[in-house]
Amino acid sequence: MDGASSSSSLLLLVGGIFILIGLIFVPVAIKTLRIDQASRNWPQATATLERAEVMKYVIDRMHKDEGPTQRISYNALLSYRYEVNGKSYSAQHGEAAEDPSHAARLVAAHRLGETRNIYYNPQAPQEYRAELAARYAGLLWLLPALAFGGFGGLVIWVGRS
């Protein structure tokens, strides 16, 4: 086997791996689309706000070159309670904030006892959506599929030329 042939085989293998990685995203997109579409027919329940608090999330990372770093983010965590067929369920909804004071303003904008409608799965009432996703948001999962698959196809094309 000469150098050009082994190089071409390696490119075919690498391209094939990228295409396979891209294909992993296709069933994710299909499942997400199905759930998003089904949730549009889910019944609504009235949920009552029981708790609102500022949440701080700290992510510690270790970088080979930069050493340890932290990423800090904040949100307003809203905890609701809703009932379906006499059984009580809890729901949480987070509102992203730019900084702690923004999160505090978001929390202050809500009052304990206020209500909102949520959508719940009638077959599994503990599954809920505080907000419905955009009709075709699940298609966004096809973008990495296209990116990986397209790159894999390009690598194969280069390997064959």
* Integer Cα distance of 37 and 46 in angstroms: 21
Q: What is the pLDDT of residues 135-151, one digit of tens each?
A: 778 888 899 999 999 99
Evaluate whether residue 76 is within a structural domain. Answer: yes
- Give residue 59's domain range: 45-121
Q: Is 79 helix (H, G, I), strand (E, B) or coil?
A: strand
CA distance 61 to 93: 26
pLDDT of residue 148: 95
Domain count along the chain: 1
The DSSP call for residue 137 is G
Sequence-ordered list of residues with C-beta below 8 angstroms from that of 131, at least 6 positions apart, any chain:
93
Question: Does some domain include residue 103?
Answer: yes
The pTM for the full model equals 0.66
Tokens 């770093």 identify what position? 69
Q: What residues form DSSP beta bridges with 87?
A: 84
- Give domain status of residue 13, yes or no: no
pLDDT digits (tens, 9 = 90+) for 12-52: 899 999 999 999 999 999 998 888 888 889 999 999 999 99
Cα 81 from Cα 61, distance rounded (Å): 35
Residue 6 resides in a domain: no
Has residue 152 been placed in a domain? no
Does 59 reside within a domain? yes
**33 located within any domain:** no
DSSP code of residue 8: H
At residue 112, the 3 state secondary structure works out as coil
Q: Is residue 61 included in any domain, yes or no?
A: yes
Residue 159: pLDDT band with limits 50, 70, 90: confident
